Amino acid sequence: MTAISTSGLTKRFRGGQLAVDHIDLAVPDGSVYGFLGPNGSGKTTTIRMLLGLAFPTAGQAALLEVPMPAGATRVLHRVGSLVEGPAFYPFLTGSDNLARYDAADRTADPRTARARIEAALDRVGLLSAAEKRYRNYSLGMKQRLAIAAGLLRPRELIILDEPTNGLDPQGTREVRALIRQIAADGTTVFVSSHLLAEVEQICTHVGVMRTGRLVFQGSLPELQQTGAVRVTVQTADPEAAVKVLAGLGLADAQAAGNAHPEASAVLGDASPEQVCAELVHAGIGVRGFAVTSPSLEDLFVGLTGEGFDVDG
Amino acid sequence: MSTAEVSVPAEHAVRPVRAYLRFFTAELRLVFLRRRNLLLLAVTAIFPLVIGIALRLASPHPQGRNGAGVAFFNQLAGNGVFLTFIALSTLLVLILPVVVAVVAGDSVAGEAGYGTLRYLLAVPAGRTRLLAVKYGTIVTFGLCATFIVSAVALVAGAALFPVGPVTLLSGTTVSLPDGLLRLLFVTLYVAAAMAALGAIGLAISTMTEHAIGAIATVMILVVASEVVDNVPQLAAAGPYLPTHWWLSFDALLRVPVDTSTLLRGLLSFAVYALLFCAFAWARFTSADVTS
């Protein structure tokens, strides 16, 4: 079963701007899916369509195999969500705010409401602040209350849009731990983020957005395989090393570094042991030898473009 | 999280009507316990009192003075019950519409402004269901405000002026219970007028995420309608204006009751309520929530 699937999902705003351009998401059941992309790449618009808040201009979407937005009232109570930051009534307490959302849920059992609200608050560590007004909450507490709202019922899928936005490192760690816990219970987690370290630490699958298009989708190891593994040789004579590497048929052989001169090339199908042996055999003084996979950041930038190079 | 926490059969045991009532009650609590709204209700309660005291002071000899040009004022001196009609017709000009406009204009736009609208829809509250609960709350609040005016005016009128058989505008005198029954119908008629205004407010509220803007728009519509209604050259448009029939409740204070005027008024309210509820529904169930 797929927790989220879309085909050709498209959103064109009234102004003509294509915010989401024919994306085909496939979020496997039980995965922790990192939805990556620079700001403005269409992540939030996609999430709004998944939750039935915005209507797609073309294509289909399904949550837990129920078509959206048509099936919104049939499926959304099985889905917890945090969309574009927390939103509550500032003049109500934390627990009254949760009670309000729970009362709006036609399938929630009023008899268990109090217990469920307390359990959700306890889960995010807000039980002691339950009777405090929302307006007096800190940013981290607000974020956690929003997650608590997502946990009011047992959920099969949790959709979190930038859950650590604006949090301090402490808060970020807490949210990350919470996401791990939720996933460990068997709930599928779909988390959008532009924080790569976060995604690398908790996600099993990733989808990468760039200007409304899904430019990659797969498991984290699959993403890592798309980047070329390189061999790097530290040596006093990088030029000679480059010749040897190129002679072995390795692509993109190049020299680099002044203080620590080195030569590197794409490993390809060659075995690192053989490359090292050949270097030594050719009389290159090898000070260090490394096989490196590209970092997620390199891969991400490779897929989405350099910092300010984001296409509008 | 254990999926056993709430077993599946228990989920389906929640009846739709009960769930509706629960949501409606929660909405009523939210609206009625909000300080701003309580203040509005307090204002509607104070006005009849102030009007009563002012009229009492202005006419020290209950039998000896003719009131201002308004029909009810002449009757007040003889009977405290008329304070209710004076209070209702005075507050209908601005205060009651403001009270309804605030709650109706805030209903959806306020949620959008707080961002709570997206979470209510993700709960999922259901768009049609949310709108129904919102409108139910607006109507209840308007009904409440109208009854507060009548109740306070009745008590103040009884305390400040003599009370007895009621001499109606047609000159006929009816018993006090008959007079009170007519007062009940007058109050319900005014509440119906406010329910129609509430529908207009709800529709406007679905079009913006700025509650203040929605509230102001409703008030501008009310004032504009009242102004147009008072321009003799535009008399032809009069019967179609939303405010035109508001004060027609005096039809209940005649013998025989002028039912055709009353029915035309109620028809106007029903048409406005239906039209704008339909507009609100069409708009709200098809628009993207971007707040």
Tell me the mean pLDDT in the region B40-57.
92
Longest dimension (CA), chain A: 80
CB B92 within 8 A of CB B246: yes
Q: Is A261 within the bounds of a domain?
A: yes
Verify that A235 and A190 share a domain, yes or no: no
B121 touches chain A (CB under 8 A): yes
The whole-model pTM stands at 0.86
pLDDT of residue A8: 93
Chains A and B: how many Cβ contacts under 8 Å?
Answer: 117
pLDDT digits (tens, 9 = 90+) for A105-130: 988 888 899 999 999 999 888 999 99
Verify that A57 and A79 share a domain, yes or no: yes
Inter-chain residue contact A89 with B118, CB threshold 8 Å: no
Verify that A242 and A218 share a domain, yes or no: no
Q: How confident is the model at residue B113 (pLDDT cuts 50, 70, 90)?
A: very high
The overall average pLDDT reported for chain B is: 88
Q: Which of A55, A78, A100, A158 to mutate to test the interface with B (most CBs of B within 10 A)?
A: A100
Q: How confident is the model at residue A94 (pLDDT cuts 50, 70, 90)?
A: very high
B33 touches chain A (CB under 8 A): no
Q: Which residue is associated with the tokens 């007004």?
A: A133
Inter-chain residue contact B118 with A108, CB threshold 8 Å: no
Tell me the mean pLDDT in the region A61-75.
91
Q: What percentage of chain A carries pLDDT values higher than 90? A: 43
Q: Is A305 within the bounds of a domain?
A: no
Higher pLDDT, A201 or B143: B143
Tell me the mean pLDDT in the region B50-73.
65
B147/B190 Cα distance (integer angstroms): 9
Task: Give the total number of structural domains in chain A.
Answer: 2
Inter-chain residue contact A104 with B116, CB threshold 8 Å: no
B188 touches chain A (CB under 8 A): no
Verify that A277 and A208 share a domain, yes or no: no
Q: Is A310 within the bounds of a domain?
A: no
Q: Is A86 within the bounds of a domain?
A: yes
Kindly give, in sequence order, each residue whose CB lies less than 8 Å from that of residue B163, ignoring residues fewer than 6 positions away.
Answer: B79, B80, B81, B157, B176
Measure in Å the smallest separation between the Cα of B211 and chain A Cα atoms: 14
Please state the φ and ψ torsions of residue B275, each to the nearest 5 degrees.
Answer: -60, -50
pLDDT at B85 over 60: yes
A228/A223 Cα distance (integer angstroms): 11
B211/B204 Cα distance (integer angstroms): 10
Q: Is A182 within the bounds of a domain?
A: yes
Verify that A32 and A154 share a domain, yes or no: yes
Verify that A141 and A187 share a domain, yes or no: yes
List, in sequence order, every beta strand (DSSP E) within chain A: 2-12, 18-23, 26-28, 32-36, 58-63, 66-68, 79-82, 157-161, 188-193, 205-210, 213-219, 230-235, 254-256, 262-266, 286-292
CB B291 within 8 A of CB B117: yes
Verify that A101 and A198 share a domain, yes or no: yes
Domain containing A167: what range? Answer: 2-225
Comparing CB atoms, the residue among B3, B5, B19 nearest residue A106 is B19
Verify that A216 and A238 share a domain, yes or no: no
A32-36 β-sheet, strand order:
A79-82, A157-161, A188-193, A32-36, A205-210, A213-219
Tell me the mean pLDDT in the region A164-177.
83
Query: Using omega within 30 degrees of 0 as the cis cutoff, is the peptide bond preceding B9 cis?
Result: no
- A26: domain CATH number is 3.40.50.300
Q: Is A307 within the bounds of a domain?
A: no
In the three-class reduction of DSSP (H, G, I as helix; E, B as strand; rest coil), residue A217 is classed as: strand
Q: Which of B1, B11, B118 to mutate to test the interface with A (most CBs of A within 10 A)?
A: B1
pLDDT of residue A156: 93
- Own/partner pairs, B110-113, CB within 8 angstroms, 24+ separation: B110/B205, B110/B211, B112/B208, B112/B209, B112/B289, B112/B291, B113/B209, B113/B210, B113/B211, B113/B291
R_g (Cα) of chain A, nearest Å: 24
pLDDT at B2 over 80: no
Inter-chain residue contact A52 with B121, CB threshold 8 Å: yes
pLDDT of residue A228: 77
Tell me the mean pLDDT in the region B126-152.
95
In the three-class reduction of DSSP (H, G, I as helix; E, B as strand; rest coil), residue A111 is classed as: helix
pLDDT of residue B8: 42
Kindly give, in sequence order, each residue whose CB lies less than 8 Å from that of residue B127, ignoring residues fewer than 6 positions away.
Answer: B121, B284, B285
- Please report residues of B whose CB lies closer than 8 A to that of A110: 14, 18, 22
pLDDT at A49 over 60: yes
Q: How confident is the model at residue A24 (pLDDT cuts 50, 70, 90)?
A: very high
